[in-house]
Amino acid sequence: MQKTIRICHLYGNLLNTYGDNGNLLMIQYYARQSGYQVETTIVSLEDHFSANDYDIVFFGGGQDYEQKIVSQDIQRHREALKTYIENNGVLLAICGGFQLLGQYYVAADGQQIKGLNLLDFYTESQDNHRFIGDIEIFDEINQKTYYGFENHNGMTYLQGDLQALGKVITGNGNNGQDKTEGLHYKNVYASYFHGPLLVRNEDLAQHLVQLAIDQINGRLANKTEIQ
């Protein structure tokens, strides 16, 4: 019997700007290349999210209006998402999705939007300025170079021991100051890369799928031992 990778697209009908759905397509492609069927579910306003129902979660970005709506609705999923993350669930967050994992972000109009506070970082806004252009970073953990395009007003500051996805070689990254870009915590990968991220960085797409497969195999092995 062919196994299935279950993908959750968080608020996929609202947070889908900059062509970042291409990340979802890449995950689906490499899952099938690995011999798995793919089941993709959009979890949106008033829908239910369970930490045990998915192998990969994709959380994209959108305009401020949509993100404010999502920021209010998603609070009811906080504990389930925390459980998912701490149990090594695979999660890819881009731009607005990235920002909402933290304490808060400040919208372009100056309004502070409450985040999920799942990871220790926060995002401020710039006055009449955006980080726009090509970007290159080096992922020291996986020893990979990633290429992309950034377009964001937010300036994100990682706190404590939280690790970045990579060190900025060219471009601005999280805040244009500390040479960090994105975030990597357990099996959570977050970034400001558009392009989309996984289309230009196929190794990372394959890595995310393999992480999900490892989790699936681990659960199956534990179930066999229990029986």
To the query of whether residue 95 is one of the catalytic residues in this protein, the response is yes
To the query of whether residue 8 is one of the catalytic residues in this protein, the response is no
Q: Which amino acid is at 10?
A: L
Cβ atoms 193, 171 nearer than 8 A: no
Does an H or E element contain 139, and which?
strand 131-139
Distance CA 122, CA 142 (A): 25
CA 196 from centroid of its chain's CA atoms: 12
Catalytic residue among 77, 152, 184, 194: 194
Cβ atoms 185, 163 nearer than 8 A: yes
Catalytic residue among 9, 95, 184, 207: 95
Residue whose token pair is 């999660």: 91
Cβ atoms 14, 70 nearer than 8 A: yes
Nearest-10 crossing angle of helices 202-226, 21-33? 60
Q: Which residues are catalytic?
A: 95, 194
